[in-house]
Amino acid sequence: MRDSSNDLSRRNFLSGVVVLPALAGLVLAQTATAEAKGTQAAFKYQGTPKNGQKCSLCKFFTKGSSATANGSCSLVAGTISPNGWCIAYAKK
């Protein structure tokens, strides 16, 4: 006679063996995607404002050591001027 509780435990274990690596792969893929930034050329980044829009007013900008220091952007790679601009500009 088979023990159905053992079958259920084995089934749960085996499904975990399959699901956990798949989830780990998904998390790694999302992390890699989140860390990938575009080039300044791809975003048509420029070091000057455009029509009153500038990086310091953009939600993707992280300021540097002071208000006038260069900072970084969560979308665009490299050093970003607070007075810069690109096509992904989004007001804070």
Question: Given the complex with ligand SF4, which of 9 and 89 has the nearer CB atom?
Answer: 89
Of the candidate spans 13-21, 22-30, 31-39, 80-88, the one that interacts with ligand SF4 by CB under 6 A turns out to be: 80-88
- Give φ, ψ of 4 to 5 degrees: -70, -25
Say if residue 63 is exposed, middle or buried (CB neighbours under 10 Å; 0-12, 13-18, 19+): middle
Question: Given the complex with ligand SF4, which of 22 and 76 has the nearer CB atom?
Answer: 76
Min dist. Cβ of residue 37 to ligand SF4 (A): 9
